[in-house]
Amino acid sequence: MQVHFESKDATALALRDVAAEPLRFAMRRVALNVPLARVQMSDVNGPRGGVDKRCTLELRTHGAGTLVIVATARAWRAAFEAALARAAHALVKAWQRSRSHPRADKRLLAETR
């Protein structure tokens, strides 16, 4: 899995090396289905402070399309961790939706007979 990290903020760029490993660890089970992950960190309202650190996590997947998860927090790391937790949950949901349901398969077999 390739990880692209983008940010214009110097303090967020320091998170680049720290963010890649937890991202790969969280996606280890679905790494073959997620060839590209893009992490974008931005400060919404500049140096004024507050809950304004935004992490946008874009996952390009095989089968589920592109998933975009956005999280906002007071600190860079908290925003990244929230986006990562949401991404893992979204991938599981997308994977479950893509699986066929046994009841639906049985109905299709009954209709073809």
* CATH number reported for the structural domain that contains residue 62 in this entry: 3.30.160.100
**Helices (H), ranges, the chain:** 10-13, 16-26, 76-98, 102-112
Res 103 pLDDT > 70: no
What residues have CB less than 8 Å from 66, skipping those under 6 apart? 58, 59, 60
Q: Which domain holds residue 70?
A: 2-112
pLDDT tens-digit readout, 37-90: 899 998 887 766 667 889 999 988 887 788 899 999 988 889 999 999 998 888
What's the predicted TM-score (pTM) here?
0.74
The tokens 């961790």 sit on which residue?
81
Number of domains in the chain: 1
HSE of 5 in the Cβ direction (CA atoms, 13 Å)? Answer: 14
Name residue 56's amino acid.
T
User: Which H/E stretch holds residue 27?
Assistant: none
Instruction: Say what the pLDDT of residue 55 is.
Output: 92
